[in-house]
C-alpha cells in the first residue's frame, strides 16, 4: 500500500470512528431527526458539487432512483436516527462497539442471499464471537424492572442490521457509478427527512449555531458522510476491497478511545473483553472472503 493510500485509509478509519463522538456531542442540543437531516443535507450538497465538477450529474433512471431510495432509507435515515437516539442514553464507545457487528452480520448472512457465497466454520465462529461480545455489553442491563434501559442497545443492533441489509441489497443491485448512487441515496434521505420535519415539526429551542453541537452536525455532514464516501470509492480500485475492509478493525477502537479521551468515559473490564470478541469476530468472518465491499455500495461503512 502506498503511503498516500495508507494515510487515506487511516483518515477513513478516523472519520468513521469519530462519527460516534460527534453524534454524542450533537444530540446534546439537537433532536435525532434534526441532526440526521442536517448531516444528510450537508453531505448531499457536497456530493452534488463533486458530481457537478466531474460533469456526471445524476443519471440513474427510474430503477436507479428506486434503488437509491431504498439505500437512502436503510443505509442512511434509519441507522442515523437509531444511533442518534441511542447516544442520548449510552456512551459513544459502547455505540461504536455494538455497531462493530455490522460487517459480521453482513458477511455471515451473505450466503443466505448470494448463493455463490459459502457459510464456513470461520464465519459461524466469527458471528458467535461478535454477538457474544454484544451480549457481554448488554447483560448488565438485563434485570427485572431494568429492561427499559435496553432500548438504546436494541436500537444500535437494529442500526447495524440496517447497514448489513443495505450492503447485501447494494451488492444485489449495483450501479455502474457508485458515487452517483451514494450521492442519490444521501439526497433522497435528506429530502425524506426534510419532508418529515415539515409535516411533524415540533418547536424547540434554537441551538447556538456556532456552538459545539452545531459544529458537530457540520462535521458529520462534511466528514463521515461526504468525505468518507469519496475516500472509500477512491481507495477501492487502488488497494482492493479486502484491504479496505480491514478498516472495520479500527473503527470500534477509535470510537472507544475518543469517548475516553474527550468525554471522560470509563469503560469497565467487560467492555474491553467485548471489544476483543467483536474484533475477533470481524477477523474470522473477513479473513477468507471479503468480496461484498467491492460490489455496489457498502453502506455499512459509508454511513457510520
Number of Cβ within a 10 Å radius of residue 221: 24
Three-state DSSP class for residue 246: helix
What are the residues whose beta carbons fall under 8 Å from the beta carbon of 63, sequence distance 6 or more? Answer: none
140 within 8 A of 32, measured Cβ to Cβ:
no
Q: Which residue has the cell 427527512?
A: 193
pLDDT of residue 281: 85
CA-based nearest residue to 26, from 263, 256, 299, 187: 263
pLDDT of residue 242: 62
Q: Which residue has the cell 455471515?
A: 108
Calpha distance 129→145 (Å, rounded)? 28
CA-based nearest residue to 68, from 163, 174, 162, 168: 174
From residue 92, how far is each of 56, 134, 252, 262, 275 by CA, in Å? 38, 15, 10, 10, 13
Question: The pTM is what?
Answer: 0.85
142 within 8 A of 267, measured Cβ to Cβ:
no
CA-based nearest residue to 64, from 171, 181, 167, 169: 181
108 within 8 A of 266, measured Cβ to Cβ:
no
Beta strands per DSSP E along 13-147:
none
Over residues 145-201, the pLDDT tens digits come to 555 568 888 899 999 899 888 888 877 887 778 888 888 999 999 999 999 998 887
From residue 203, how far is each of 25, 31, 292 by CA, in Å? 21, 11, 43
184 within 8 A of 40, measured Cβ to Cβ:
no
Fill in the DSSP letter of residue 200: S
* Residues of the chain below pLDDT 70: 1, 114-118, 140-149, 203-206, 240-242, 288-304
CA torsion through residues 101, 103, 107, 109, sign: positive
From residue 210, how far is each of 205, 206, 213 by CA, in Å? 15, 11, 8
Over residues 215-245, the pLDDT tens digits come to 999 999 999 999 988 888 888 777 766 677 7
What are the residues whose beta carbons fall under 8 Å from the beta carbon of 129, sequence distance 6 or more? Answer: 277, 278, 280, 281, 284
Amino acid at each position: 500500500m502506498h503511503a498516500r493510500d495508507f494515510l487515506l485509509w487511516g483518515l477513513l478509519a478516523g472519520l468513521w470512528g469519530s462519527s460516534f463522538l460527534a453524534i454524542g456531542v450533537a444530540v446534546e442540543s439537537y433532536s435525532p431527526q434534526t441532526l440526521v437531516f442536517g448531516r444528510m443535507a450537508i453531505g448531499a450538497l457536497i456530493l452534488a458539487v463533486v458530481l457537478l465538477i466531474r460533469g456526471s450529474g445524476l443519471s440513474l433512471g427510474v430503477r436507479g432512483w428506486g434503488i437509491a431510495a431504498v439505500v437512502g432509507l436503510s443505509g442512511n435515515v434509519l441507522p442515523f436516527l437509531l444511533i442518534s437516539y441511542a447516544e442520548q442514553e449510552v456512551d459513544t464507545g459502547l455505540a461504536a462497539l455494538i455497531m462493530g457487528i455490522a460487517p459480521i452480520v453482513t458477511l455471515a448472512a451473505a450466503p443466505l442471499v448470494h448463493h455463490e457465497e459459502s457459510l464456513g466454520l470461520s464465519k459461524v465462529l466469527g458471528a458467535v464471537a461478535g454477538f457474544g461480545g454484544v451480549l457481554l455489553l448488554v447483560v448488565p442491563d438485563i434485570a427485572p424492572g431494568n429492561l427499559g434501559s435496553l432500548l438504546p442497545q436494541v436500537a444500535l443492533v437494529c442500526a447495524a442490521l440496517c447497514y448489513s441489509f443495505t450492503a447485501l441489497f447494494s451488492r444485489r443491485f449495483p450501479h455502474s457509478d457508485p458515487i452517483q448512487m451514494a450521492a442519490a441515496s444521501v439526497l433522497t434521505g435528506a429530502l425524506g427527512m426534510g419532508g418529515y420535519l415539515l409535516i411533524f415539526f415540533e418547536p424547540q429551542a434554537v441551538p447556538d449555531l456556532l456552538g459545539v453541537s452545531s459544529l458537530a452536525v457540520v462535521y458529520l455532514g462534511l466528514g463521515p458522510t461526504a468525505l468518507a464516501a469519496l475516500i472509500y470509492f477512491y481507495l477501492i480500485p487502488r488497494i482492493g476491497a479486502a484491504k479496505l475492509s480491514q478498516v472495520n478493525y479500527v473503527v470500534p477502537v477509535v470510537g472507544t478511545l475518543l469517548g475516553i479521551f474527550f468525554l471522560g468515559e470509563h469503560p469497565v473490564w467487560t467492555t474491553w473483553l467485548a471489544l476483543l470478541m467483536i474484533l475477533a469476530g470481524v477477523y474470522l468472518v473477513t479473513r477468507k472472503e471479503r468480496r461484498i465491499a467491492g460490489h455496489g455500495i457498502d453502506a455499512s461503512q459509508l454511513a457510520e
